Amino acid sequence: MRPVVALVFAASALVAAHAASLSLGKRIVLYGQGHVEACADCHGPQGQGRRHFAYPRLAELNPSYLLSALRSFADGARLNGIMTPIARDLSPQAMGAVVDYYAEFRPSVRPLTQRVSRSRMTRGYRLYEHGDLQDKVVACARCHGPQAQGVGARFPWLAGQSQAYIKEELRSFRAGGRRGLGLGLMRAAARPLSNRQISDLALYLRTIGTKTRLLPFRPNPPIMRLSDQNFSPPRRSAVPITVFGKAVLRGRAIFDHTRRYAPRYVGNALSCRDCHMGEGRESNAAPLWAADALYPRVHDGRVMTLAGRIQAAFVHSESGMAPPLGSRVMADLLAYIHWMSRGAPIGAHIAGRGYPALPRSAQAPNVVQGAALYAHRCEVCHGGNGQGIRTQGDVVFPPVWGRLSFGRRSSLGHMPTLAAFLAATMPYGQPDSLRSGQAYDLAAFLEARPRPQR
């Protein structure tokens, strides 16, 4: 009976400690402490923020994220004229108490009172979900999750956040004033954003989950540029409203969320977009618009069609089964690829296809150095155990080894291809930031991890 009694006493002690922390947190939030002003003056008594000012909503933020933010204010890693002196006057116990108190509340987001431009909302939605290939803007959803509800302790909840706060922080990231809690990922993501794009993103994020009255939508005309050696796929808004267009949209959904929309053919946690970045539209990241014009082609001594190549990807990259040639999944994927490739020259070498060739270093790849690189640059997204991050059932960051990752016979199962992929696309939002030797070291480390044999 003694172990049971000890557990009961331990549980009671934890409950009492949590209650004491909540009480302390409530006093600091509502009334302040010493030189620390009441948090409620700016963030509200329940952490709802002040939506017309650059005071963020704290309710629903991951407690670990909020505690890390307070610590970064205190140690000077993040500077703010209001928050830095406040955080420096808070003891570690007081910080934890404030975080515990605000963690008790959920956001209460009110709809905007004025009518909102539908075109601005559409632009903000597309930037958040898809990025912008033309302007090299990466998709926010890849880190902050569907509906901007955050991913883990490093990527915060953004839905319903104050427009003024979002705009101020994005501009600070863009100018280099704020680094963020990761490896400068947000600086790289914000750098190409224009003021209009920042405003559109802030508006969209503010209205997620609310019923907002919208003004009429006036779409931008589709743009497609083609030169002798360069190709840009048609804009997403150019998908025709026809039977073929519906197949294109279904194909794009399968491409982005393969396990959800083609579950019978997928055996791991990967989707097509994990190897072909930016919905298969991004140059130098194995874009699909370069594939349609190059197949059929000779592969391993035999003629392979594009459909056959897709089937091989399902088997080796996604550890699954090949969709039949006459299946709807195959037809929709081919429709999506064909639509993206319209206007591309048949059989020509198009700049940006595949991953840029990466010269081998004079030294052999070093697995130990690759492990250190992974811990420093990759672990924040893919986890220390390489199993990625899930939220609400969706895989946000894919596993990079283990039974749910790609197989040894997939394209990324070959070290030169994997190194070229890493150098061209990783870390997300920071392409071309790895040197050739680093990419090979990291590829060697990943190749040494366990993964499916086929």
Q: How far apart are CA 301 and CA 303, in angstroms?
A: 7
Beta strands 389-391 and 302-304 are unpaired
Identify the bridge partners of residue 304 per DSSP, sorted by sequence position: 297
The per-residue pLDDT for 373 is 92
Among 274-278, 356-360, 389-393, which stretch is predicted with the lowest mean pLDDT? 389-393
- pLDDT by residue (tens digit) across 81-91? 888 888 899 99
- Report for 18-22, 177-181, 298-302, 306-310: range of highest mean pLDDT: 306-310
Domains of the chain: 2-102 (1.10.760.10), 118-207 (1.10.760.10), 236-340 (1.10.760.10), 367-447 (1.10.760.10)
Question: 155 near 141, Cβ under 8 Å?
Answer: no
Tally Cβ neighbours within 10 Å of residue 168: 17
Indicate if the pLDDT at residue 204 is higher than 80: yes
The per-residue pLDDT for 13 is 53
As a whole number, mean pLDDT of residues 269-296 equals 87
Of 256, 273, 274, 254, the residue nearest 264 (C-alpha): 254
Across the chain, mean pLDDT equals: 84
The residues, any chain, with a CB within 8 Å of residue 389's CB and separated by 6 or more, are: 151, 152, 381, 382, 383, 395, 396, 397
Kindly state the helix (H) or strand (E) to which residue 252 belongs, with its residue range.
Answer: helix 243-256
Q: Which residue did the predictor score with more confidence, 291 or 183?
A: 291
As a whole number, mean pLDDT of residues 183-195 equals 86
Q: Which residue did the predictor score with more confidence, 22 or 369?
A: 369
The per-residue pLDDT for 227 is 35
Tally Cβ neighbours within 10 Å of residue 33: 19
Determine if the peptide bond prior to 56 is cis (ω within 30°): no
- pLDDT band (50, 70, 90) for residue 389: confident
pLDDT more than 90, % of the chain: 30
- pLDDT by residue (tens digit) across 293-352? 788 888 778 899 999 999 999 999 999 999 999 999 999 999 999 998 888 877 777 788
Q: What does DSSP assign to residue 35?
A: T
- pLDDT by residue (tens digit) across 54-111? 788 888 788 888 898 889 888 888 888 888 888 899 999 988 888 888 888 887 777 7
The per-residue pLDDT for 51 is 66
Q: Which residue did the predictor score with more confidence, 261 or 29?
A: 261
Q: How far apart are CA 422 and CA 277, in angstroms?
A: 12
Among 76-90, 244-258, 368-382, which stretch is predicted with the lowest mean pLDDT? 76-90
Identify the bridge partners of residue 146 per DSSP, sorted by sequence position: none
What are phi and psi for residue 48, nearest 5 degrees?
Answer: -85, -5
Question: 73 near 84, Cβ under 8 Å?
Answer: yes
- pLDDT band (50, 70, 90) for residue 52: low
The per-residue pLDDT for 225 is 36
Burial of 453 (0-12, 13-18, 19+ CB in 10 A): exposed
Among 137-146, 207-216, 432-441, which stretch is predicted with the lowest mean pLDDT? 207-216
- pLDDT band (50, 70, 90) for residue 132: confident
pLDDT more than 70, % of the chain: 90
